[in-house]
Structure 1
Amino acid sequence: MFFKPRFSTKNYSRRGFRLRGNTLVLLFAFFMVGLFLHYGGKTKPVVAFWNDVRQIIGLGRSRADREESNPYKVPEPNSGPDVATDNRSSSESEASDEASDRSSKANDGQSSKTVRFDFEKQVDFLLPVSRSSAGELIRHEGYTLSYRDEFKDAQWVAYPLLDYETTGDADRKNEQFKPDPAVSEGTALPADYTRSGYDRGHLAPAGDFKYSQRMMRETFLMSNITPQTPDFNRGIWKELEELIRTWAVRDNGLYVITGPVLKAGLPTIGKANEVSVPQKFYKVILYCNKPAIRMIGFLLDNEASTSSLKQFVVPVDQIEQLTGLDFFPKLPDDLERKLESKGRSEMVDEWFSN
């Protein structure tokens, strides 16, 4: 005679602790919500979570994530349209405060660290003059430029680089390339660079304006952008930008003029616009601290290079002949001729040995 249980073991097994389909879905949903909250609402929490796991077990970040974080990777426009918008009216007080603070710090720095020449105090002392075709003069808070509509490129960008401006909390990672609303005929669009094989290369680099998020944002306006080969933009050009920032800190401030060498017949990219691709780029740097004054010029091909930056030092006269520009025309004539005619070895000794 067998004992018959009062309950069914079959039913018991069915009613035991078992995760059913709906429960799994709810747990997965809670897991995903938790990831979004933990990673601050990022759009790729699973990727971020996986990268954290990889770092914990010693595998490092994934290759795709490393490439995505590269600030010199050719970025694509966001989902919004390529439209020039002017939001200055909504932040006039912010701009005024930053400009006032910047002016105050600049004046303090000049009075305590440097002595200015009289010619530096002239209006627009920094700006070059074109000997042939002048572009449209565009003034932004951090820099001034001359824009050539026929090339959809700036022929020069000029700004003072003060030592304190190279450090700060401004971050480029959330900035977007945008058309410049200040240019009357319109600039190139970010989409003109898409799948072109060229970087959207900065003339006035974002790293020169870490002091102010607003001024850093201005460097992403397309009037300040030019087609550069990726290996050039992320290589020797980046190295030169970093060197100039080092000099600005060492010398308590510099004047910087930079741009492409523009001429007829350059290749172009772009669908909405024909954007000229420069073959060469230049930088002209001036240091003034009365009675000391020195100038140096750099001329680089738009291509990768592993050469020393000293190899790209050229007389400023040579850059003037190529560009049709007159740099620092408000310098006394004799002093200007002396500075602009110096050879490579003399400039290298003056700038690289200190």
Structure 2
Amino acid sequence: MLLKPQFSPKNYHRRGFRLRGNTLVLLFVFFLIGLFLHYGGKTKPVVAFWNDVREIVGLGKSKSAPGDNPYKAPEPQDNSSGKKNDETESEASDESVASDNNGGKSSGNSPKNDRFDFEKQVDFLLPLVKSGDEIIRHEGYTLRYVDQYKDASWVAYPLLDYETKGDADRKFEQFKPDPAVANGTAVTSDYTRSGYDRGHLAPAADFKFSQRIMRETFFMSNITPQVPDFNRGIWSDLENQVRSWARRDHGLYVVTGPVLKPGLATIGKTNEVSVPEKFYKVLLYCNKPQIRMIGFLLDNEGSDKSIREFVVSVDLIEQLTGLDFFPKIPDDLERQLESRSRGEMVDAWFDN
């Protein structure tokens, strides 16, 4: 007699949870989505996750790869409404508390230049301000915003030698609309896939002494469309030269901006942001009785030329921009400084 077995593999079903191949794939997809949601806007999600793991086990963060592009990554979170994003600012503040060692104050070790009496006047370093101008004041710099172009026509600030030194790092910051601008600034998405960099007027690296003040340079009021080869090339070279002079001379005054005029090309999905064709810098050094001024005018394009080739008289920049730089300097002295020839300025600044 044949006995029919009660157990048959065909009728066996394993009880409980069992991971199938497609379930593993779904879990992996959800894991990646979680990474993007958690780390979106800081840095690349996998790198950020790996940095967190390294910190937990006491290895510290890994360094950025040499090929990283600081002007493009991290891609900022957009705030199209132009309103202040408290959550984002709180997060950035938590990341950067330890980097603001000087608290925005001088270390006291930097030599001080002797000041002229006219330097002591209120807003001495600002170009002439006219009725109706929208002047935006931040802790590190002051600017004039022109809503017609969604650009600043100038940004002005004193640059002291100690301010260029420190451990503040731009990787902690995000581009964001400036809540101080009445009608709102451009938003980050206006630049996305436009072919232009979000170019700083007051550079982040000019404020390495304070993470808090460096954060102000990422307001979109301080940002303007720049050709990548220009922003990362000759413009960056000029910014480095300015910092070198600030350290050498223990401080100087900086006024910088685009040449704005009707008819410029525009970019933007939410706003029409004018793309400047030229940018300028005007620098003033004062150490009584010494005083000197220099101007730079550059096309918004890449260049292999020396920055000396872009030295121009400040008079020329005033003619192109309609601005009056350092109007509180006595007229005779102002005219003398602003009309200096290119050769005189090169000798005074580069060969000093």
TM-score normalized with structure 1 length: 0.76
Q: How many angstroms apart in 2 are the aligned matches of 1:215 and 1:251?
A: 22
**Offset of residue 350 of structure 1:** 0.3
Q: How many angstroms apart in 2 are the aligned matches of 1:74 and 1:263?
A: 30
Structure 2 residue ranges without an equivalent (≥5) = 1-17, 36-42, 55-62
Structure number having the greater helix percentage: 1
2:288 equivalent to 1:290? yes
Question: Structure 1's 21 and 276: CA in aligned 2 closer, same or farther, altered over 3 A?
Answer: closer
Q: Supply the AA of the counterpart residue of 2:122.
A: V
Larger Rg: 1 or 2?
Answer: 1
Runs of 4+ in 1 over 2 A off after TM superposition: 45-49, 72-84, 100-106
Map Cα deviations across residues 175-214 of structure 1 (whole Å, 9 max, x no partner): 1000000000100000000110000000000000000101
2:161 equivalent to 1:163? yes
Question: Structure 1's 310 and 42: CA in aligned 2 closer, same or farther, altered over 3 A?
Answer: closer
- Where 1:246 maps in the other structure, the secondary structure is helix
Contact 2:82 2:184 in 1 (8 A): no
Q: How many angstroms apart in 2 are the aligned matches of 1:46 and 1:168?
A: 23
Question: Structure 1's 273 and 235: CA in aligned 2 closer, same or farther, altered over 3 A?
Answer: same
Q: How does 1:205-244 map to 2 (within 5 A)?
A: 205-244=203-242
Contact 1:82 1:178 in 2 (8 A): no
Q: Supply the AA of the counterpart residue of 1:44.
A: V
Q: Supply the AA of the counterpart residue of 2:124.
A: F
Give the corresponding residue for 2:278: 280
Question: Structure 1's 151 and 75: CA in aligned 2 closer, same or farther, altered over 3 A?
Answer: farther
Map Cα deviations across residues 89-114 of structure 1 (whole Å, 9 max, x no partner): 989xx99xx8x9645557x74xx431
Q: How many angstroms apart in 2 are the aligned matches of 1:295 and 1:211?
A: 26
Q: Supply the AA of the counterpart residue of 2:71.
A: Y
Map Cα deviations across residues 31-80 of structure 1 (whole Å, 9 max, x no partner): x9xxx9xxxx983159969xx9xxxxxxxx99xx654x221236533276
1:254 to 235, 247, 252: 252
Question: Structure 1's 186 and 290: CA in aligned 2 closer, same or farther, altered over 3 A?
Answer: same
- Where 2:205 maps in the other structure, the secondary structure is helix
Give the corresponding residue for 2:338: 340
Contact 2:190 2:270 in 1 (8 A): yes
Contact 2:140 2:213 in 1 (8 A): yes
Q: How many angstroms apart in 1 are the aligned matches of 2:235 and 2:115?
A: 30
Question: Percent identity among equivalent residues?
Answer: 67
Contact 2:178 2:220 in 1 (8 A): yes
Aligned residues: 300
TM-score normalized with structure 2 length: 0.77
Contact 2:103 2:210 in 1 (8 A): no
Question: Structure 1's 79 and 225: CA in aligned 2 closer, same or farther, altered over 3 A?
Answer: closer
Q: How many angstroms apart in 1 are the aligned matches of 2:205 and 2:176?
A: 18
Q: How does 1:88-237 map to 2 (within 5 A)?
A: 102=104, 105=107, 109=110, 112-129=111-128, 135-237=133-235
Contact 1:157 1:259 in 2 (8 A): yes
Q: Supply the AA of the counterpart residue of 2:157.
A: Y
2:45 to 32, 39, 43: 43
Q: How many angstroms apart in 2 are the aligned matches of 1:42 and 1:199?
A: 19
- Where 1:238 maps in the other structure, the secondary structure is helix
